């Protein structure tokens, strides 16, 4: 599918409150056929989602430790996870330490997932991801680990106000790029 058709389809699914604010852009290299073009998303004419651009307002993580120490990411720990740690340690660890251990384990797993999703995005082809988005249900796109699919679904007109407001807890565990577009959409409700 050509870029102009793909862009037209993506824009047709854009939330009415974001029309004119969010735009899909692409660059191409006419005389370098082996070099692929660059696709990115702009908000108010500012490049927001492009891995190769260092001026984006979204934080990109370099290490797992950077994610674990980020105060913006809140990892909730369930009672079952604390009980699992208690069983593993055979009950000899103090109660307050059990929660710290459980949170640390969960944040390590979460950090690995975020770095993996970020690495996939940097290698991904925007047009392939956008075509996947158009052929997949909104629910699957929202639940996906792919950052780009999450973003495209969040700014889609088929995701209503109630669903956006109910997603606040699960968005806290997503990449800052997804959180950025979630906040943008929430502000325009």
Instruction: For residue 41, give the H/E element and its range.
Output: strand 38-43
CA atoms within 13 A on the CB side of 33: 0
Whole-number mean pLDDT of the chain?
A: 84
pLDDT exceeding 90 applies to what percent of the chain? 34
d(CA 41, CA 143): 21
pLDDT of residue 167: 94
Separation of alpha carbons 39 and 42, rounded Å:
10
* Edge-to-edge strand ranges of the sheet holding 46-49: 22-27, 38-43, 46-49
Per domain, the residue ranges of the chain are 3-57+124-187, 64-114
**pLDDT, tens digit, 9 for 90 and up, residues 38-81:** 778 899 988 888 765 555 567 777 888 888 888 877 788 888 99
Segment 51-54 long-range contacts (CB within 8 Å, at least 24 positions apart): 51/121, 51/122
Single pTM value for the model: 0.75
| Beta strand pairing call for 46-49 and 22-27 | unpaired
In the predicted model, residues of the chain with pLDDT beneath 70 are: 28-37, 51-57, 120-124
């Amino acid at each position: 599918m050509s870029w102009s058709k793909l862009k037209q389809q993506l824009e047709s699914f854009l939330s009415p409150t974001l029309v004119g604010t969010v735009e899909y852009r692409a660059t191409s290299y006419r005389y370098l056929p082996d070099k692929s073009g660059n696709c990115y998303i702009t908000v108010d004419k500012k490049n927001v989602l492009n891995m190769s651009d260092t001026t984006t307002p979204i934080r990109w993580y370099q290490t797992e430790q950077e994610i674990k120490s980020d105060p913006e990411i809140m990892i909730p720990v369930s009672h079952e996870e604390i009980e699992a740690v208690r069983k593993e340690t055979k009950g000899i660890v103090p109660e307050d330490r059990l929660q710290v251990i459980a949170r640390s384990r969960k944040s390590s797993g979460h950090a690995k997932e975020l770095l993996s999703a970020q690495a996939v995005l940097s290698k991904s082809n925007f047009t392939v991801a956008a075509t996947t988005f158009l052929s997949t249900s909104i629910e699957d796109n929202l639940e996906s680990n792919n950052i780009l699919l999450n973003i495209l679904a969040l700014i889609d007109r088929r995701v209503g106000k109630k669903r956006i407001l109910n997603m606040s807890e699960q968005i806290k565990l997503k990449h800052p790029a997804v959180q950025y577009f979630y906040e943008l959409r929430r502000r325009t409700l």
